[in-house]
A and B are shown apart, each in its own frame.
Chain A
Amino acid sequence: AQTVTQSQPEMSVQEAETVTLSCTYDTSESNYYLFWYKQPPSRQMILVIRQEAYKQQNATENRFSVNFQKAAKSFSLKISDSQLGDTAMYFCAFMSATSGSRLTFGEGTQLTVNP
């Protein structure tokens, strides 16, 4: 079974600064996908970024980028130029290519962006 661990329950950052959220996972599979989802106070889950394990290049989406270290089973999220609207709970998630789209979530990191 896969596990996903987010070791930072809470983090805070000043507006316009950069913050990195950590995520590690454990799997014996070689073909999988990793995701970061954000859940703002509205509680709507929003996809932030996605990474395919077979791709060596780190995914980026505007101010969001990941540092994917496959050998270390690490998948951190970097948020640049933090904005107040980035305040949310962030969940790291794992999906095996053979799991039928089933997601395994980490415990989440509550990020607060301060003005």
Chain B
Amino acid sequence: GAVVSQHPSWVICKSGTSVKIECRSLDFQATTMFWYRQFPKQSLMLMATSNEGSKATYEQGVEKDKFLINHASLTLSTLTVTSAHPEDSSFYICSAPTADATDTQYFGPGTRLTVL
């Protein structure tokens, strides 16, 4: 299957700083990528849809100024958590659908963010 990578796999930062998470599709191009947040033992919550060459679409209740998304190329989307606070600590996952007829989504391995 297709491969999606995320970097870093885990990060610890101080409150008030910004953190950037990268999501890359390694063997296919993705005009769309998705960003999720997951709390322990819970389901994935869609935060936003990242669109190559245009603005991201945010889900209701997600602060677009806090979670900045940039989709600079067909293989890279970034999520920047600005002015992070302890309540932003979570597991962040990205996914990308293949452009073939199956339209199946493949997921990155996730990034664990801890804000002290």
Contact = CB atoms under 8 A, between A and B. Distances in A.
A103 B41 contact: no
**Residue among A45, A47, A95 having the largest count of chain B Cβ atoms under 10 Å:** A45
A105 B110 CA distance: 17
B103 A101 contact: yes
A55 interface: no
B91 A43 contact: yes
Interface stretch (B16-24, B42-50, B64-72, B79-87): B42-50
B73 interface: no
Contacts of A43: 38, 91, 93, 109-110
Interface string B16-44: 00000000000000001010001001111
A45 B34 contact: no
B32 A100 contact: yes
Interface string A26-59: 0000000101010000111111001000000000
Interface stretch (A12-20, A76-84, A106-114): A106-114
A44 B107 contact: yes
A110 B41 contact: yes
Closest 5 CB pairs of A and B: A45-B107, A101-B97, A105-B43, A44-B109, A43-B110
